[in-house]
Amino acid sequence: MVGIVNVTPDSFSDGGDFFSPDAAVAHGRQLVADGADILDIGGESTRPNCTPVLVSEEIRRVVPVVRALRAALPDTPVSIDTVKAPVAEAAIATGAVIVNDVSGLRLDPDMGPLCAASGAGVILMHSRGAVADMASYAHAEYRDVTGEVQAELRSRVSAARDSGIDDRSVVLDPGIGFSKRTEHSIQLLADLPQIVALGLPVLVGVSRKRFIGEITGVTTTADREEGTMAANVVALTLGARLFRVHDVRAARRSLDVAWEIMRRMR
Ligand code: HH2
């Protein structure tokens, strides 16, 4: 279970809630108490038309939070959600051990070599385009969404290998809601076994996303928790093994119950 700590003023569901380091650290502690195994710290929103964040500002946002969380929760691995190698480098120097790159190593040529040299774990997420438009529909044209996402993820795995990253450090993520319309996100989740077939652990990030709002009619992002639970449980049954969520307690409980049943299936 990966708990989300957004140190941003503008994230789509919790922007501004944990923008001060103290609030972010208190939130991280709560998420771990609720059952998070990993905390994912982000200092830049990917919501469409978000304000670009300078490297120096992103470092200023995330490094104190990584440092404080490492001190407060030394047994909880910290992941840094960034597409910028200098931000990842600063976070790793402060104790982060996983790089969550929503561009799948596409946007910063230094990211792959940095991850290889540091031995960090790497989440390779599928997306298209730049940070400002990757969560929009600007590049959401597909003839076969699952086939194309699978092929593009395979090429990101090759890029990771070319940088010297060990396959054992890599997790794949289909990038739900990134360069995808609602029908694409739903189809990808339904076809998750084809992403699992790439042979690496799969993470899904469905938490509170737009496709849930479009299915249920729920516009308030924080009220999309029931839909989030349903999508996570289905993803678990289809092979996902890591879940990036805002509401860790509800996700932990629902996935623990689903898993107890699943592991006895004959
Ligand atoms: N989704 C978001 C951000 N980072 N990382 C991975 N690996 N997978 C995801 O699905 C994913 C992600 C978007 O959610 P959030 O962090 O809540 O919003 P924002 O980008 O507005 O900060």
Mean pLDDT across the chain: 96
Active-site choice (128, 224, 244, 252): 244
Q: How confident is the model at residue 11 (pLDDT cuts 50, 70, 90)?
A: confident
Q: How confident is the model at residue 51 (pLDDT cuts 50, 70, 90)?
A: confident
- 209 catalytic? Reply is yes
Q: How confident is the model at residue 236 (pLDDT cuts 50, 70, 90)?
A: very high
Q: Where are the alpha helices (DSSP H) in the chain?
A: 21-33, 55-72, 85-93, 111-118, 145-162, 182-190, 192-196, 210-216, 225-237, 248-262
**pLDDT the model gives residue 206:** 98
Does the pTM surpass 0.85? The reply is yes
Does residue 185 carry a pLDDT above 90? Answer: yes
- Residue 40 has which token pair? 């994912």
For ligand 1, atom 9: residue with the closest CA: 205
Ligand 1 neighbours (beta carbon < 6 A): 4, 6, 8, 11-13, 42, 45-47, 81, 100, 102, 123, 125, 173, 175-176, 203, 205, 244
Share of the chain above pLDDT 90, in %: 92
The domains found in the chain, sorted by start residue, are 2-262 (3.20.20.20)
Does residue 260 carry a pLDDT above 90? Answer: yes
**pLDDT the model gives residue 219:** 95
